[in-house]
Structure 1
Amino acid sequence: YISSFALLPEYRGHGNGARLFSTGLSFIKKRVQSVQEMVLLVNEQWTGARRIYDSYGFTRTAVLPDAFPHSAGIVMQFTSE
């Protein structure tokens, strides 16, 4: 279980988020032999993060209107085949 992670503004926009997310996924997959499903919650305003999750095959499954202060949360899911 990973609670959350974020990048300081000066580290955004240079591929660091994708590298960090990729490293996290690799860490999980090495320790859990048969990952069948992953679920995450992302602030609807974090478009960069959502693009990263989309690129790794996560799909939008639900919207939680009041998940964050002043913003909805998007539930995204990855299911291995």
Structure 2
Amino acid sequence: MLKNRNKVITPDICFINSYTLRQLWAVIEENETSTLLKFGDAELVEQLLGQLQNKIVMSREEVNTINNYLNSKVSLIRDLAEGNSF
């Protein structure tokens, strides 16, 4: 929390609920390894987010939060996919 001349400024934070998080990781696991590895980072995030949106309805804030979350997890997603390719 930041203070700005007697005003408290809170960052805009939207948390991911456990149901949405489970659905997101289910979407990731449902994809073929080759799919997870063939796209660039932005395309991969867009694909996964689109697939999740086909399963559940999300607010704009939730979509932005999931987008940020996926961007922060791209390396992990690729590492897991590569580990499953054997």
Q: Please, what TM-score do these two structures have when normalized by structure 2?
A: 0.31
Greater helix content: 2
Larger Rg: 2
Q: Please, what TM-score do these two structures have when normalized by structure 1?
A: 0.32
Q: Which has the higher contact order (CA 8 A, sep 6+)?
A: 2
